[in-house]
Structure 1
Amino acid sequence: MSAVLSGCLALAPGPKSTPRPTPRPVKPVYSPSVASLELAKYYADLEQDLLTRGLLRTDGGGPETPYDAEDLAERFETLAFYDEYAAASDGGAGGLGRWEVPVILEPVFGPSVSAAQAARDRDMLTAYAARLARVTGHPVSVGSKGNFTVIFAGLDDADFTEARVRKLLPNLSASDLALFTAPPRKFYCLVTAGGPRQDPLNYSRGVALIRAEQPGLMRESCIHEEVAQGLGLRNDSPKARPSIFNDDDEFARLTSHDEKLLQMLYDRRLRVGMSAAEARPVVTRIAQEVMGELTH
């Protein structure tokens, strides 16, 4: 207990002392909640189960996953022109969407993410951005004040995530906002990307959430899939193999098959807003070219 005494005391002058610098505020040590710890254990067990079953492969496929130009063209159409979350009334069909401006990925980290983990995530994202730029021929990089924000955050960072997403996507619906702030545990990660209301297929903003409770390979898999989908391959398909654009978790990282799909998406012979029917002859030819079955 302490007390403050008021009044004026006559003291003998003493030696002058150098004022002590004001100490910097100490950042409190993060202690995860029970819910966050339980989610981390769930994801750790899930990753181990997937690996035990031969999933989350990092080999990119092999002789048991063959495909040809016809397969590639068909899968491209499914992934680039259809949206699993679109209204059933239109069959999910839409136009081709992609970025015409350079993509600048900006990683941001919730308070629960340690500095060491944030450094690893940033390095992984930087290496992946360089790979995507090489594959697509489109500028993709990591930087500050980006137009594609990748949020690494956990359950305990809900307030941080909500504030950041509200700022980035002020017109997002309440239900979609809730997916970012309190997603079901079956959603390891998620992404939204698009353009302004008057030109939604001309992408200019992307936001992805990578759940911080995930262990290493699941976390890397989320980065690969969500960023690639945010570039315009917005759908998943059980026929896409070997591919990360598939809900079966067979592959953890972008495959050479997926690289070809992204190369096709950013081919200048395709235009933003093209319908599937309009693009089909061009897609067929590009698929033959990237498979080496046809020269330019």
Structure 2
Amino acid sequence: MRVSLVVSALSLILSACAPAPVAQVAMNRPSPAIAGAALAPLQGFAAQPAPQAARGNADIARDFLDLAFQMESGRALPVLTRFDGPITVALTGDVPATAHPDLARVMARLRAEAGIDIRPALPGGNAAITIDFQPQATMRRLVPSAACFVVPRVSSFAEYRAGRATGATDWSTLTRRERVGIIAPSDTSPQEVRDCLHEELAQAIGPLNDLYRLPDSVFNDDNFHTVLTGFDMLVLRVYNDPALANGMTRAEVAARLPAILARLNPAGEGRGAGGNAAIAPRPWIEAVEKALGARGSDAARRSAADRMLSIARAQGWNDNRLAFSWFAVGRANVGHDRDTAARAFREARRIWQGQPGGEVRTAHVDMQLAAFALAGGDFAEALALTDRAIPVVRRAENAALLATLLMIRSEANVALGRDDAAEAARLDSLGWARYGFGTDAQVRARLSDIAGLAASGRRG
């Protein structure tokens, strides 16, 4: 399940962790003018293979077992379940225009990188996986915190609603997967639709759990990674390896994992497990939801972020969870105490710089610090931070974050009198903004927010 946490560039720049406005339906058509010029056409990323997993096989085996044999709620799963044979996928409901090409791209990656036989269902045929697009308001009446989710034994939201009280949608009762439904939003940005396709398809054909300790995976509710990573592709390849089978227990899978990983990931051999691998305790997860969720006061978010950090330190963590706690403290203090926020962001970046997959997270920090620099009149620093972050974000395929960085870059160049460079960055930002934010109104709002920061910096 992809949860709605406000941690990305979709949240308002330099506000006190305000939730992103609900996107209108994204339309791939010409747009009204902004500041006298029409918006660029909506852009999207071409498919590209992810770098291979960069951790040792002992770590990956440990993570695989916790992902495969536990639910996000903490419930244990008795046996491994998966599809047997080719997997077919169908789209239904109010399907967004970008869903078909983005689904084709992720299925091509799953075939090439994870070795999974996944293909579109034939018209009128029975699909193994059906992705049903519904309005966000309809979804959240039943699952308030979910941006999208995956359910067994159903092919539609209506089936899920009818069967949720009967036990039919309980994953722990499965012995194999035959029919799975993915419920996704029809009225959000193209990027959010794509992110749901990546994460929910991965859970439909692989592990069901998310782990906050993972720095390099979409199997993590912090939502920093928006598309499937090299670690994710390896996990899915292992999950569907012929040496495993439906009905295997955790102990049986654990006995076979070393040989499977040695065959599929020889570069990870001989590297032992390290760090604190314990599952994050429930109080810390509840603090995450309060610190970065859409509900509650600014003071409540700051309190929850401080609680995250206190628990992380008490647990002895020095991994993604500690860095994420620092990041939450930074986000919660953006509109309250900028010095505290900047210190927290830098501490998060220090930890993430030493972790596999941490470069994507450090790019989020760099965006926040670039916004600070822009608002403080340090335009050269804003350019340096965007210089460092933009190549990482392009590779990570985060259009919303990329657009924001380019807008910051444009305003910094304007302030320095570099009009040609400013115009190039602004034009580059607009097509990515339409993919990342979804509507012309939201693109205008982001442009206005960042222009306001630059104006503040010039006055200062």
TM-score (norm 1): 0.63
Which of 180, 184, 188 is 1:206 aligned to? 180
The 3-state SS of whatever aligns with 1:227 is: helix
Cα offset, 1:181, TM superposition: 6.0
Q: Does 1:153 align with 2:134?
A: yes
Report the equivalent of 1:175. Answer: none
| Counterpart AA for 1:235 | N
CA contact (8 A) 1:264 1:287 kept: yes
Report the equivalent of 1:97. Answer: 81
Q: Does 1:106 align with 2:90?
A: yes
Distance (Å, rounded) in 2 between the aligned partners of 1:182 and 1:238: 24
Residues 168-189 of structure 1 show CA distances to partners (whole Å, capped at 9, x for unaligned) of xxxxxxxxxxx676431x3110
CA contact (8 A) 2:107 2:118 kept: yes
Distance (Å, rounded) in 2 between the aligned partners of 1:46 and 1:276: 35
Structure having the higher helix fraction is 2
The 3-state SS of whatever aligns with 1:99 is: coil
Distance (Å, rounded) in 1 between the aligned partners of 2:7 and 2:70: 33
Residues 93-134 of structure 1 show CA distances to partners (whole Å, capped at 9, x for unaligned) of 421111003211101132xx5xxx33x211111221222123
Distance (Å, rounded) in 2 between the aligned partners of 1:51 and 1:275: 47
CA contact (8 A) 2:83 2:205 kept: yes
Report the equivalent of 2:63. Answer: 75
Report the equivalent of 2:237. Answer: 263
Once the two structures are overlaid, the 10-residue window that deviates more, 255-264 or 206-215, is: 206-215
Report the equivalent of 2:228. Answer: 254
Unaligned runs of 5+ in 2: 18-44, 155-167, 270-460
CA contact (8 A) 1:225 1:254 kept: yes
Q: 1:271 to 1:44 in 2, by over 3 A?
A: closer
Distance (Å, rounded) in 1 between the aligned partners of 2:99 and 2:114: 22
Distance (Å, rounded) in 2 between the aligned partners of 1:285 and 1:180: 43
Report the equivalent of 1:272. Answer: 246
Report the equivalent of 2:116. Answer: 138
Distance (Å, rounded) in 2 between the aligned partners of 1:104 and 1:275: 26
Which of 258, 263, 268 is 1:284 aligned to? 258
Cα offset, 1:284, TM superposition: 1.9
Distance (Å, rounded) in 1 between the aligned partners of 2:12 and 2:245: 38
Cα offset, 1:235, TM superposition: 0.7
Distance (Å, rounded) in 2 between the aligned partners of 1:131 and 1:274: 27
Cα offset, 1:153, TM superposition: 1.9
Q: 1:81 to 1:44 in 2, by over 3 A?
A: closer
Cα offset, 1:281, TM superposition: 2.3
Which of 220, 235, 248 is 2:194 aligned to? 220
Residues 35-76 of structure 1 show CA distances to partners (whole Å, capped at 9, x for unaligned) of xxxxxxx999965229999xxxx999989x952111111111
| Counterpart AA for 1:275 | T
Cα offset, 1:291, TM superposition: 2.2
Residues 240-266 of structure 1 show CA distances to partners (whole Å, capped at 9, x for unaligned) of 230000011110000011000001011
CA contact (8 A) 2:8 2:224 kept: no
Q: 1:189 to 1:199 in 2, by over 3 A?
A: closer
Bigger RCO of structures 1 and 2 (CA < 8 A, at least 6 apart): 1
**Sequence identity (%):** 23
Q: 1:279 to 1:121 in 2, by over 3 A?
A: same
How many equivalent pairs are there? Answer: 217
Distance (Å, rounded) in 2 between the aligned partners of 1:123 and 1:73: 33
The 3-state SS of whatever aligns with 1:107 is: strand
Once the two structures are overlaid, the 10-residue window that deviates more, 135-144 or 263-272, is: 135-144
Once the two structures are overlaid, the 10-residue window that deviates more, 144-153 or 270-279, is: 144-153
| Counterpart AA for 1:128 | V
Distance (Å, rounded) in 1 between the aligned partners of 2:12 and 2:179: 33
Q: Does 1:48 align with 2:10?
A: yes
Q: 1:131 to 1:270 in 2, by over 3 A?
A: same
TM-score (norm 2): 0.42
Distance (Å, rounded) in 2 between the aligned partners of 1:45 and 1:232: 25
Unaligned runs of 5+ in 1: 1-41, 159-178
Report the equivalent of 2:41. Answer: none
Distance (Å, rounded) in 2 between the aligned partners of 1:70 and 1:246: 19
Across the aligned residues of Structure 1 and Structure 2, the Cα RMSD in angstroms comes to: 3.6
Distance (Å, rounded) in 2 between the aligned partners of 1:191 and 1:181: 16
Which of 174, 179, 192 is 2:151 aligned to? 192
Larger Cα-atom Rg: 1
The 3-state SS of whatever aligns with 1:48 is: coil
| Counterpart AA for 1:192 | V
Q: 1:235 to 1:199 in 2, by over 3 A?
A: closer
